[in-house]
């Protein structure tokens, strides 16, 4: 599997919508497509219009598998970019609620 970055723009109105979609995404990825896609992590971003988007890191066999997963979940996959190399300077910082 190859590593990809997926940008999902303006996909959710609020955190509750995003959480519901994340639950479906995990189920489909883990139970129905585990041989094709693997969700690694997502960064939730505030879009200019106030909606939420994400920058997701996935392992997948192909961009087509990512598109199939997104379509089955009912979420966008606006941009799919293969990762050429990973450079980690520091681990992701923990949010204040996770650090306590």
Whole-number mean pLDDT of the chain?
Answer: 94
pLDDT at 4 over 80: yes
Stronger pLDDT, 92 or 45, i.e. the higher one: 45
Cα end-to-end distance, the chain, whole Å: 35
* Overall size of the chain counted in residues: 100
Distance CA 67, CA 23 (A): 17
The CATH code of the domain that includes 78 is: 3.30.70.3090
DSSP of 11-77: EESSHHHHHHHHHHHHHIIIIISTTTEEEEEEEEEE-TTS-EEEEEEEEES-HHHHHHHHHHHT---
99 is a domain residue: no
Q: What is the pLDDT of residue 96?
A: 64
7 is a domain residue: yes
Counting the structural domains of the chain, the total is: 1
- Residue range(s) defining the domain that contains residue 8: 2-91
21 is a domain residue: yes
- Number of neighbouring beta carbons within 10 Å of residue 80: 19
Q: What is the pLDDT of residue 66?
A: 98
97 is a domain residue: no
| Interval 19-40: pLDDT, tens | 999 999 999 999 999 999 999 9
């Amino acid at each position: 599997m190859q590593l990809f970055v997926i940008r999902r723009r303006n996909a959710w109105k609020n955190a509750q919508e995003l959480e519901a979609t994340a639950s479906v995404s995990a189920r489909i990825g883990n139970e129905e497509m585990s041989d094709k896609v693997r969700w690694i992590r997502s960064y939730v971003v505030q879009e200019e219009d106030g909606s939420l988007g994400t920058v997701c890191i996935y392992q997948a066999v192909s961009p087509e598998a990512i598109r199939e997963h997104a379509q089955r979940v009912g979420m966008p996959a606006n941009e799919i970019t293969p990762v050429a190399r990973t450079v980690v300077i520091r681990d992701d910082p923990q949010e204040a609620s996770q650090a306590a």
